[in-house]
Structure 1
Amino acid sequence: MKPLLALTLAALAVPAQAQLRLPQLPGVSRLPGVVDRVVDRVVQPLPELLSSATQLVDLRATTVRDLLQRHSDVVEADPRGELMRRRELVLLSPSAAALAAAAALGLVKLREEAWPELELREVVLSVPASLGTAEALDKLRAAQPDLQADFNHLYSRSGELAPGAAVAPAKPRGPVRVGLIDGGVDRRHTALRHAAGGSFGCAGSVVASEHGTAIASLLVGRDRGFAGASPKAELFAADVYCDKPDGGSAEEVVRALAWMARERVAVINLSLVGPPNRLLEQGVAALVKRGHLLVAAVGNDGPAAPPLFPASYAGVVGVTGVNPSRRVLPEAAQGPQVLLTAPGADVAVARSGGGYGIARGTSFAAPLVAGLLAAELREPDPAAAAAVLERLAAAAIDLGAPGRDPVYGRGLVAEDLRVVPEQLQARQAR
């Protein structure tokens, strides 16, 4: 596989000229900046849009090259072609000997942070100009073979721009709450202004994004003619991008996970994708062990692409998307990480700044699943989380091969949660 196949888009740093320009559905505003690693929304048949896998690769390659050229001061690619923060290494709970070895190589500590909720401590090091970032990591691992260290990888939003399947009641207690780790949310939108909850990231500033607002609307949105999966839920939204070219790092995602743990948000949606990373893996494992349900989009790099993360980590609920005809999106990832399927095409979503757009991608399937699970799991609890997830999976419509399969997982849920753009237009015109 060529290195470019593994390249990751950085969220909303995508240049306008690198995005596909598609015809607008009459009466519904377009959702600009809609990219799910490769393509995240369409309003024309996919065979006309994605004629070959080469087109997918070329689009991603062009976008990533542009990002690296424009922001080479803060972003670079690792040996596999995955994007990461320039000249940064992340050490997990390093010993004094490991820090001494790093200092001997000329690595300088930038910051240190502990997340007791995740039983994690990180030390972020700056790599000197005399060493390449990958070279520094190799040397450090050679000096300290037991050291847990990695790059500070970047994770792109897996998509840009209603009651569901029956679930047996679990007598949940407490308010319905759902977590979102994504870009910023425009809570002034008419579909979101009712949503209580909390916000995290960007030093307290609000940096609303198209993607974060769209996903939030599918989780908790409520407006005339529009409803998300759990419209009465409290929304706890963490912005890990803050409109920065090096936003969405593994460090920022783990910091958001720690906040969710402190707030005891049981169900968390992550419509973002990237490479495996040791820091992120341990952060995810800590929350899964505590009984949180992490729902993640499997990504849109195509069925033959390597698995993307965090959806492919153990215990994460990986979600793929289908079109209104129940056919899997051709760009959707496939493999054992796929657990559930939900609508992921021709989906109406709220736009930052007002109005609605049309979305496509696995990014938009994930929040429909997360919303259903949040209504049933009010507190983190390992046994309850497993039971709630099994009930939803058992109610799924089996598609593809009988039983669980790598294309549809356990099957389709939330089919009646998709807000049809034409119907939304008609209802709002009344």
Structure 2
Amino acid sequence: MRLRYLLIAGLLAIAIRPAMAQVGLPPVRLPALDSITETIGNTLDDAGAETVRTARDMLRIREIRRAKLMRDHPGQIERDANGDLARAGELFLLDAAPAEIDAARQAGFTVIGHEQIEGLAVDLVRLGIPENLSLKEAEMALGRLLPDTTVSVDTLHFPAGDAGKRVPTTGSSSSARSVRTPVGIIDGAPGRHARPSAMRGFARGAPQPSHHGSAIVSLLDYAGVQDIRVADVYGTDPAGGNAMAIAKALGWLTQTGTKVIAISLVGPRNALLERAIASAQKHGVIIVAAVGNDGPAAPPAYPASYRGVLAVTAVDGRNRALIEAGKADHLDYAAPGADLRVRNADGKATRVRGTSFAVPLVAARAAAHRGEISQIITHLDEEADDLGERGPDRVYGRGLVCGRCRP
């Protein structure tokens, strides 16, 4: 019983920290947080099957994180009709006819503007919602008014890993592989010590250094990627990581010729983002995304669950699937995602854990190969180590990629 409560306390801290980092707040301090976090890591390594938490515990942690973020930023973040967090006050119409736009206007919605996502074949109309309606009520009302039109909210996405605890090391050298294909990340920005080849912000205050974005860049650098392009979708915006920001980031990276994009973020299914990802894929872009850390009982994570996206989970130092790993509608690969040493936004050596950090390792290996997505998958399948059940399975996908990539 004590073990269970220790796990809940430690992983609650891990779950809340990324959200606090997203909104620029200091880390949440639970009693003896650093001690609990360190102990939980040791416990996970030693206790094996005894450490598996219940689905109810994981979902409770997920809900606490989201409820706190919404409570701390009233008027900026609301729940949509599905109960997911989204940017308040605005809805999107995709492929709307003039008559449908007029109907929305007559119903009290205001037309903020018509917008096209640069680099992608995605057009939308931005609507302000009536002052007397909540986001949920407005979404439902617009859906009833325009049943044949795609209505989308601006749902939020969260980092799928924790920046971790500083460790007394000078960092890790490169894995010595040279990857020249451009790799983009959609995340927070890295610290000033990092030198991405290109960087652009898609949120208020962006680019703004973040520990999570720094860790992803650090791992791409370790994996030998020479051309790293960063799209910061968080900045200092409490509602950062929204679908619109990610869609615009996809457009920019696609337009600049980026061939592989790593997205270590998770959120709910979103019509706008699904359309943007499909458009990027038509341009030959390979998208690699995390399954998240909300546990196997959580809803499928997106963008990992979108069609054609390479969904990635993570393993620990003994090649065991992380107990907190989420799920996607499909699972492609696993990669190391625990006790990895990276640089945070301050340039300090940090130990990280989460499915977030498996993504850049798989993205680097995908970028090391040439060809269409089917050819790249064939190469990844050939180098992947088959773990668990023989052949593809729901725990490791088609195998462990970059198993020795452990900085």
Indicate the TM-score class for this superposition, using the shorter chain for normalisation: 0.7 to 0.9
Instruction: Map 1:120-159 onto structure 2 (within 5 A).
Output: 120-159=122-161
Q: Which amino acid aligns with 2:399?
A: G
Query: Cα offset for 1:308?
Result: 0.8
Cα distance, 1:164 vs structure 2: 9.5
Which residue of the partner structure matches residue 215 of structure 1? 216
Residue 341 of structure 1: aligned partner: 334
Percent identity (aligned): 37
Name the CA shift for 1:212/1:43 in 2 (closer, same or farther; >3 Å).
Answer: same
Q: What is the alpha-carbon distance in structure 2 between the residues aligned to residue 207 and residue 84 of structure 1? A: 21
Shift of residue 116, structure 1, vs aligned partner:
5.2
TM-score under structure 1 length normalisation = 0.80
- Are residues 1:17 and 2:17 paired? no
Where in structure 2 are the equivalents of 1:23-422 lying within 5 Å? Answer: 23=35, 43-46=41-44, 51-115=53-117, 117-161=119-163, 163=175, 175-186=180-191, 188-189=192-193, 192-193=194-195, 195-202=196-203, 205-220=206-221, 228-231=222-225, 233-334=226-327, 336-377=329-370, 384-419=372-407
Question: Does the residue aligned with 2:235 lie in a helix, a strand or coil?
Answer: coil
The answer (yes or no) to whether the contact 1:298–1:337 under 8 Å persists in 2 is no
Consecutive unaligned residues of structure 2, counting only runs of 5 or more, are 1-14, 164-173
The amino acid of 1:211's aligned partner reads H
CA distance in 2, matches of 1:122, 1:19: 43
1: CA distance between counterparts of 2:188 and 2:337?
A: 19
Aligned-residue CA RMSD in angstroms? 2.7
Equivalent position SS for 2:162: coil
Alpha-carbon shift at residue 65 of structure 1 (Å): 1.9
Q: CA deviation at 1:408?
A: 0.5
1:68-107 Cα distance to aligned partner (Å, 9 max, x none): 1110110011233210011211111321112111101111
| 1:247-299 deviations in Å (ceiling 9; x for gaps) | 11100000000001110100000000000010011111111222111000011
CA distance in 2, matches of 1:296, 1:388: 16
Shift of 1:217: 0.5
Could you say if the C-alpha distance between residues 277 and 407 of structure 1 is closer, same or farther in structure 2, counting changes exceeding 3 Å?
A: same
Q: Which runs of 5+ in 1 are unaligned?
A: 1-6, 31-40, 221-227, 378-382, 420-430
C-alpha distance 208-249 of structure 1, shift in aligned 2 (>3 A): same
Equivalent-residue separation in structure 1 for 2:378 and 2:43 (angstroms): 34
Secondary structure at the aligned position of 2:42 is classed as coil
Amino acid at match of 2:313: T
Give the structure 1 partner of residue 11 of structure 2: none
Aligned to 1:318, what secondary structure does the other structure show?
Answer: strand
Distance of aligned partners of 1:19 and 1:148 in 2 relative to their CA distance in 1, 3 Å threshold = farther
- CA–CA distance in 1 between the matches of 2:310 and 2:213? 19
Counterparts of 1:116 and 1:255 in 2: how far apart (Å)?
Answer: 7
Post-superposition shift, 1:148? 1.1
- For the 8 Å contact 2:205–2:237, the answer to whether it is kept is no
3-state secondary structure, aligned to 2:112 = strand
**Distance of 1:71 and 1:117 partners within structure 2:** 32
Shift of 1:206: 3.0
Report the TM-score when normalising by structure 2. Answer: 0.85
1:112–1:18 CA distance, 2 compared to 1 (3 A)? farther
